[in-house]
Amino acid sequence: MSELAFEDVTVRFGNGRRAMTAVDGVSLTVPSGAVVGLVGESGSGKSTLARAAVGLTPVSGGRILLDGRPLRPRGRRPLQMVFQDPYSSLDPRMTIGSSIAEAIPRGAVPGAAGRRDEVARLLELVDLPADRAGCYPAELSGGQRQRVALARALAGRPDVVIADEITSALDVSIQGTVLNLVRDLHRSLRLSMLFITHDLAVVRYVSDYIAVMYLGRIVEYGPAESVLQDPQHPYTRELLAAARRPGRSAPADLDTAPAQVADAEPADPHHPPSGCRFHPRCPAGPLVHADRAVCRDAAPTGDGRRNRAACHFADRAADRADTPPPGGPPGDPRS
């Protein structure tokens, strides 16, 4: 178990006028032995942050620390990533046993027999029969392939696992079983994990903490129950409203938002808005309240606010009406 920390991390692509800042000054901690769920819509920078952590994307600014020590820019990193698409994350020309064995660190187990035994152990750990080691990826279902990807990640003896939308490419009937496996692995191995998703029902099911990301910045972060039961940032509240159970009414400030707010498209990440990046879509922002021009002029911080909500008016924006979090994961009877 280790603590993963992002300190003012920035990731930029391109140069000059065509440059885009995908991650902008993100500070985020994955405590030792905890699961942090990172949520946000497509294009918010979640996957870019994950790729920066494992060294697949260079960092333009800031630091990534593991147990207080900066990660090396080159060489083996004690982090492993499970990717979104189980159909492209495994080499179709290798058996799954070979794919898993390839990830075992050199010298971790003695001899070829030891590696075979370790592959069998890892397969059983993700609820696959050991005799599947001789199968090729094409012989497995999507859910089975994602289990293999988890086994391969665990084979690397990681200090932290990063799971990037690992259920989004699976059938709904399979998603729940994979999430149950993730939760069981976390409990048995006490893994530190950054779990990335856009689905709040999923993140509630597996996470100890939740971070909400919008247009390259973290806008809210706190214990999972606190963020879901008492969201402070208007964007978090919109995500919850979109995922609410049938028959539940939306929060009052979302119901009364003017059409120009309700119909607004996400900002162009190449040219993000000044001030609070959510203000062109915010039902508690200057389009609704003319006296809140500060939202256009100054970027808010979460310092001193509940759930570290980066909103100038978080305490007034938060509606205290009953806004329960969504149910369990897809395929789970609590959904």
pLDDT digits (tens, 9 = 90+) for 167-213: 888 888 888 899 999 999 998 998 899 999 988 888 888 999 999 99
pLDDT value, residue 332: 53
Kindly state whether residue 94 falls inside one of the protein's structural domains.
yes
Range(s) of the domain holding residue 126: 88-153
* Residue 86 predicted with pLDDT over 80: yes
- Supply 42's token pair: 């497509």
Residue 155 — left, alpha, or beta (φ > 0 → left; ψ -120 to 50 → alpha)?
alpha
Low-confidence winner among 100-109, 128-137, 281-290, 311-320 (lowest mean pLDDT): 311-320
Gap between the Cα atoms of 143 and 134, Å rounded: 17
* Residue 250 predicted with pLDDT over 50: no
* Residue 317 predicted with pLDDT over 70: no
Of 80, 51, 47, the residue nearest 160 (C-alpha): 80
Position 305, amino acid:
R
Kindly state whether residue 261 falls inside one of the protein's structural domains.
yes
For the chain, give the mean pLDDT.
86
* Residue 252 predicted with pLDDT over 70: no
Gap between the Cα atoms of 243 and 301, Å rounded: 26
pLDDT value, residue 9: 97
pLDDT value, residue 59: 94
If one counts the domains in the chain, the total is 2
Kindly state whether residue 248 falls inside one of the protein's structural domains.
yes
Kindly state whether residue 196 falls inside one of the protein's structural domains.
no
> Which backbone phi and psi does 121 adopt, to 5 degrees?
-65, -45
Q: Quick one: pLDDT band at residue 267, thresholds 50, 70, 90? A: confident
Strand, coil or helix: what is 25?
A: strand
Tokens 């910045």 sit at which residue?
Answer: 217
Task: Let me know: does 129 contact 97? Beta carbons within 8 Å.
Answer: no
Q: Quick one: pLDDT band at residue 245, thresholds 50, 70, 90? A: low
Bridge partners of 21, per DSSP, are 12
pLDDT digits (tens, 9 = 90+) for 36-69: 999 998 889 999 999 999 999 999 999 999 999 9
Highest mean pLDDT among 84-88, 89-93, 238-242, 321-325: 89-93
Kindly state whether residue 246 falls inside one of the protein's structural domains.
yes
pLDDT value, residue 19: 86
Kindly state whether residue 277 falls inside one of the protein's structural domains.
yes
Kindly state whether residue 275 falls inside one of the protein's structural domains.
yes
pTM of the prediction? Answer: 0.86
pLDDT value, residue 331: 54
The DSSP symbol for 193 reads E
Q: Containing H/E element for 37? A: strand 35-39
Kindly state whether residue 333 falls inside one of the protein's structural domains.
no
